[in-house]
Amino acid sequence: MAVNGSNFVDYVKIHCAAGHGGAGSVHLHRSRLTAKGGPDGGDGGRGGNVYLRGNDQMWTLLHLKYKRHVKAGRGGGGSSNNSFGDDGEDKYIEVPLGTVVRDGDTQEILFEVTEHGKDTIVRKGGMGGRGNSWFKNSVRQTPRYAQPGTEGEEGWNILELKVLADVGLVGFPNAGKSTLLSVISAAKRKIANYAFTTLVPNLGIVAYRDNRSFVMADIPGIIEGANEGKGLGIRFLRHIERNSTLLFLVPADADDIAKEYAILLNELELYNPELMHKDRLLAISKSDMLDDELQEELVKTLPEGIKTVFFSSVAQQGLMELKDLIWHQLNA
C-alpha cells in the first residue's frame, strides 16, 4: 500500500507457491549382462521452497507492489540406476527487517523478519516420490509402481512492514515532528503548516556525542479517534510497536499540553495496551515562543511521572538537551 506515488509501501498481499515434488521412477535394470534385472528407479527431487530473507539495506516493500505471484520450481523425476531427480529451484523474497508475515486467509502471524540474511520458509516444497526400488521385497521382486511427489504448499500471504527505530515520534499533525527530524538528522521531508504533511513514516540517524548515534522515526500524525479509523487511522500505529522509546511531541502553543498528551496516550492504549510498557518522554516543541516566566508557568501544568524537555527546532534551542535525555533513556 503506497501513498500518493510515494516509494514507501508497508503492506502487500502476495501469492506464494512452492514446487511439487518430482515423481519416483519405475524402472527395471537392463544391460548387456543383465536381461532381467531388479528395480532401480530413483527417487524424485523435492519441490522448491519459497523463502523470505531479511535485508537491512531495504526500507520498503515497493519491489513487491506489482509482484503478486512467486512460484518455486518443481522437483525433477527420478530415473534409472537409482538416480535421484533434481530438487526444484528455491525462490527467495528479500524484505526489510521488521516485516511481519501473516497467513492471507486466517490473518494469523506466522513469523517476523528481524535478522539480516536469515532465510525463513514461507511455503514448503513437496517431497519427492520414492522410486520402485523402495518397494522390492522377497515376494514382490519387480514392483512396477512408484510414488508420485507430494504437492507443494501454496496460498496468499500478507506482508506488513513495521519500521525499526530506537525512538518513535508521537504527536498530533503539525506538532513539529518532521521539522525536528530534519534538523537533528539528515532526513529531509516535505514540511508545511498544515495537518498530515507527513503521510508515510520517515527514518533518520541522529548523531550523538563521541561518534555514537541512534535511529529516530517520524510517524504520521495521530488524531483523537485514530484507533477507530479517523484521520490516517491505525495504518501507521503499528510502526510505533517497534520503537523502544516513544517521544511525545506537543507544541508550546497547545491549548492544554497535559490533555493532548493524555489523548495521544489513550489512542495508543486503545490500539495496543502493550505500548503502555514502553519508555516515554515528553518534548515541548516551539519553545522559542516562550519567555522564562511563561515557561515556568507552563511547567506547573505538565503531566506528572514523565521526563520533559523544552526545545525549538527553528531556533536550535534545547536540541542537545533533548538528545541527552533520549540517549540516557535508551541506555538506562
Q: Which tens digits make up the pLDDT trace of 20-30?
A: 999 999 998 88
Residue 204 predicted with pLDDT over 60: yes
Using alpha carbons, select from 199, 181, 166, 203 the residue that is nearest to residue 58: 203
Superfamily (CATH H level) for 167-330: P-loop containing nucleotide triphosphate hydrolases (3.40.50.300)
Average of per-residue pLDDT across 280-287: 91
Choice among 134-148, 175-189, 219-233 with the minimum mean pLDDT: 219-233
The beta strands (E) that lie in the chain are given as 11-17, 50-55, 69-71, 91-96, 99-103, 109-113, 119-123, 154-161, 167-171, 202-207, 213-218, 245-251, 279-285, 307-310
The pTM (predicted TM-score) of the whole model is 0.67
**Which comes out higher in pLDDT, residue 125 or 60?**
125
Q: Tell me phi and psi for residue 169, to 5 degrees.
A: -85, 125
∠ CA(268), CA(61), CA(225), 5° rounding?
A: 20
The pLDDT of residue 225: 55
The pLDDT of residue 247: 92
In the chain, which residues fall in CATH 2.70.210.12? 1-161
Residue 3 pLDDT class (50, 70, 90 cuts): very low
Which of 108-122, 173-187, 297-311 reaches the highest mean pLDDT?
Answer: 108-122
CA atoms within 13 A on the CB side of 263: 17
Q: Tell me phi and psi for residue 296, to 5 degrees.
A: -65, -40
In the chain, which residues fall in CATH 3.40.50.300? 167-330
Q: Which CATH architecture has domain 1-161?
A: Distorted Sandwich (2.70)
The pLDDT of residue 8: 65
Which residues, at least 6 apart from 167, have a Cβ–Cβ distance to it below 8 Å? 206, 214, 215, 216, 217, 243, 244, 245, 246, 247, 326, 330
Residue 292 pLDDT class (50, 70, 90 cuts): confident
Q: Are strands 167-171 and 213-218 parallel, antiparallel or unpaired?
A: parallel
